[in-house]
A and B are shown apart, each in its own frame.
Chain A
Amino acid sequence: GQQLNQSPQSMFIQEGEDVSMNCTSSSIFNTWLWYKQDPGEGPVLLIALYKAGELTSNGRLTAQFGITRKDSFLNISASIPSDVGIYFCAGRTGTASKLTFGTGTRLQVTL
């Protein structure tokens, strides 16, 4: 099945640093979602974006829906150890339709 290109594939950062990751697609989506997955768990929704150009924050997390509808980015400010995990973007064409997931960004935070 189709997957979205997500970069970087992995990141090793120090506590307190800011993080940026992005997701690109060859096709248009109407909704972009960002999830975090901890080992052995299901993904948890972080931010949902519904309009092209939309910029949304959730605490230290900020995400934007690209103006072309083919990309999105996620920023994490002042990273902390509990930010460790795998971050996935996901795109959707309409409500109740299936999600297409990105390849994931593995984040490691060192003290």
Chain B
Amino acid sequence: GAVVSQHPSWVICKSGTSVKIECRSLDFQATTMFWYRQFPKQSLMLMATSNEGSKATYEQGVEKDKFLINHASLTLSTLTVTSAHPEDSSFYICSGDRKGDYGYTFGSGTRLTVV
């Protein structure tokens, strides 16, 4: 089945530094990748949609200069949280759309803690 590998699974960083999260589709080409943020005991909230080779589309209220998304290939998308602050601490999850697959495959998530 389709697998999306997400790394790292957890990261602790100091306030003001940047963190990069990677998502790789291992056995399919993801033309579209979605990035979500999930706070404790809450649902997944879509942050942005990225298509390979083009700029990401951000949801309302999500700062595009703070959450940099790169989707340079059909198998790799990255999310960089720049100048992280404690309020950015959350669970970040990516999902990939395999053409013809109607249920997107999710990564295992990254727990980000900013101290």
Contact = CB atoms under 8 A, between A and B. Distances in A.
B43 A102 contact: yes
Nearest to A10: B41
Overall SS of chain A's interface: loop
A41 B45 contact: no
Nearest to A100: B46
Contact of A88 (B43, B97, B105): B43
A99 to B, nearest CB: 7
Interface string B59-72: 11100000000000
B93 interface: yes
Interface residues of A, number: 24
Given A1-B45, A1-B46, A41 B109 contact: yes
Contacts of B61: 1
Contacts, number: 56
Interface string B89-112: 001010101010011111111010
Contacts of B42: 104
A103 B107 CA distance: 20
A45 B106 CA distance: 9
Most buried by A among B34, B43, B46, B106: B43
B93 A42 contact: yes
A42 B6 contact: yes
5 contacts: A1-B60, A1-B61, A43-B44, A88-B44, A99-B104
